[in-house]
């Protein structure tokens, strides 16, 4: 029986800079994906337990050379959680790229409002994709929000809709949990000492201060699934993650960005137990991590007219070449979070070692973590999602 852990990253008043494909220094994503988290975590693990320790761990994961291996742990990407004053914690999950059960055919009056819901609170996620599905009240609430925006009603005068279950769950508050900001930086030319002003994008999660204590009102979380209890591995991963929190996650760490404290939950909250208690009528699986596989026979079974997915090229740089310069790692195409498949995808580590780099292998984590869901049975084009 698998063992689940929920890990929260509390950044307090420390900003973060998470670069993404197509995003320059002036912008930052509000979260970090599973392959980047895995790489940072493994690098810290190697410093703690040495080359032999990290190679022993990586040897346990499935790769192209040994696809049948059972991974010692699966991890999700990071997603936002918030702690609203006087309310329980809200955890957000990516909306699956399929319509939920009971979603109406005639959705023109509210489709734009629905499409904006890229992330859902897990209470709504559970109801839409594992429970009763989309309801008439949900439709009326989304239509109400659309009408309010068309009429340009001032927020201070707007009355809450009669049916406001989505609002009460925090469905529309995702963007209020963090604040993007730009900070000026100065670059100094090493040759002629000329200066150049530029800006770097950061994300600041909500925080407060009470009696000289920094309180994290929002941050990131992720899930771990162990195939069986492994206290030794869990202890080592905990230690490596703690060290990573002191050093910082993401870019611009020399500016103090990305530092965090961890909360490692040994027992899942009740809402999460509902999510992970597989529904009997499950029809599909939604990935909450990145997913990669190079086996055409595996992909043939997954990529059918019953799936909906998005793909992104994952590329970047590594440090540690013999010359002391950065090297570009090989790029791979990975399925993104929220992709839906008729069967649970498994995935592998992708070998992205640059040509000529002989020190050690470089991997990107394409091992999938998925949750079973129920979706609308009609065939729907992913283009409209």
Residue 191, pLDDT score: 82
CA separation for the pair 274, 39 (Å, rounded): 30
List of residues 6+ apart from 294 with CB closer than 8 A? 64, 348, 350
> Which residue, among 339, 384, 380, has the nearest Cα to 115 in the 3D structure?
384
Classify strands 178-188 and 119-121 as parallel, antiparallel or unpaired: unpaired
Q: How far apart are the first and last CA of the chain?
A: 35
Q: Dig out the tokens for 199 from the structure.
A: 């800006």
- Tally Cβ neighbours within 10 Å of residue 43: 16
- At residue 349, the pLDDT reads 96
**246-260 as b/e: b if 16+ CB within 10 A:** eebbbbbeeeebbbb
**Dist. CA 368–CA 61, nearest whole Å:** 12
Tokens of 185: 């930086």
Q: Give SS3 for 98.
A: coil
Query: What are the two backbone dihedrals, phi and then psi, of residue 298, each rounded to the nearest 5 degrees?
Result: -65, -50
Please give, one letter per residue, the 3-state secondary structure of 141-199.
HHHHHHHHHHCCCCCCCCCCCCCCHHHHHCCCCHHHCEEEEEEEEEEECCCCCCEEEEE
> In what helix (H) or strand (E) does residue 302 lie, and over which residues does it extend?
helix 296-302
Tokens linked to 270: 């009740």
- Candidates 18, 54, 14; CA nearest to 35 is 18
Q: In this structure, are residues 123 and 102 in contact, taking their beta carbons and an 8 Å threshold?
A: no
226 contacts 238 by C-beta, under 8 angstroms: no
- Assess contact for 216 and 12: CB atoms under 8 A: yes
Q: Is the dihedral of CA 294, 299, 303, 307 positive or negative?
A: negative
- Residue 139, both tokens: 């439709």
User: Is the pTM higher than 0.85?
Assistant: yes
Q: For residue 86, what pLDDT is reported?
A: 66
pLDDT tens-place values along the chain, 385 residues long: 799 999 999 999 999 999 876 555 567 899 999 999 999 999 999 999 999 999 999 999 999 989 888 999 999 999 999 998 767 899 999 999 999 999 999 999 999 999 999 999 999 999 999 999 999 999 999 999 887 665 544 445 455 555 789 999 999 999 999 999 887 777 777 788 787 776 788 999 999 998 889 999 999 999 999 999 999 999 999 999 999 999 999 888 887 889 999 999 988 998 999 998 766 678 899 999 999 999 999 999 999 999 999 999 998 877 654 445 578 889 999 999 999 999 999 999 999 998 888 888 899 999 999 999 999 876 544 444 4
Q: For the chain, give every domain's residue range.
A: 1-83+178-277, 99-176, 281-385
Q: What is the pLDDT of residue 384?
A: 40
Cα 14 → chain centroid: 19
Task: Write down the CATH number for the domain with range 1-83+178-277.
Answer: 3.30.70
As a whole number of angstroms, the distance between CA 29 and CA 337 comes to 15
pLDDT of residue 255: 78
The three-state secondary structure class of 258 is coil
In angstroms, the Cα distances linking 300 to 282, 342, 345, 368 are 21, 11, 12, 16
pLDDT of residue 24: 55
């Amino acid at each position: 029986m698998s063992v689940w852990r929920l890990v929260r990253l509390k950044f307090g008043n420390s900003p973060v800079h998470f670069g993404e494909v197509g995003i320059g220094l002036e912008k930052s994503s509000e979260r970090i994906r599973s392959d980047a988290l895995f790489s940072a975590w493994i690098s810290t693990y190697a410093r703690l337990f040495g080359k032999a320790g990290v190679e022993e761990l990586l040897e346990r994961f499935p790769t192209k050379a040994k696809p049948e291996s059972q991974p010692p742990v699966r991890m999700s990407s990071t997603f936002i959680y918030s702690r609203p004053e006087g309310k329980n914690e809200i955890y957000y999950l990516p909306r699956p790229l399929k319509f939920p059960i009971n979603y109406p055919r005639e959705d023109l009056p509210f489709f734009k409002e629905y499409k904006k819901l890229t992330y859902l609170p897990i209470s709504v996620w559970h109801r839409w994709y594992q429970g009763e599905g989309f309801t008439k009240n949900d439709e009326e609430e989304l239509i109400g929000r659309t009408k309010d925006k068309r009429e340009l009603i001032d927020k201070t005068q707007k009355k809450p809709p009669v049916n406001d279950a989505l609002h009460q769950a925090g469905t529309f508050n995702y963007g209020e949990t963090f604040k993007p900001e730009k900070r000026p930086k100065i670059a100094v030319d090493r040759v002629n000492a000329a200066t150049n002003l530029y800006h770097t994008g950061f994300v600041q999660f909500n925080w407060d201060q009470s009696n000289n204590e920094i309180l994290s009102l929002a941050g990131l979380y992720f899930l771990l699934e162990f195939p069986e209890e492994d206290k030794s591995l869990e202890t080592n991963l905990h230690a490596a993650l703690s060290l990573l929190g002191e050093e910082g996650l993401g870019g611009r760490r020399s500016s103090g960005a990305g530092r965090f404290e961890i909360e490692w939950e040994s027992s899942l909250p009740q809402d999460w137990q509902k999510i992970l208690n597989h529904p009997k009528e499950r029809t599909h699986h939604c990935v909450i991590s990145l997913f990669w596989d190079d086996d055409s026979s595996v992909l043939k079974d997954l990529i059918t007219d019953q799936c909906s997915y998005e793909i992104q090229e994952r590329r970047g740089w590594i440090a540690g070449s013999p010359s002391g310069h950065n090297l570009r790692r090989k790029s791979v195409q990975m399925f993104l979070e929220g992709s839906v498949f008729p069967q649970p995808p498994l995935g592998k580590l992708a070998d992205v070692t640059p040509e000529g780099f002989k020190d050690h292998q470089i991997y990107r984590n394409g091992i999938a973590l998925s949750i079973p869901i129920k979706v609308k049975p009609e065939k729907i084009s992913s283009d409209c999602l």
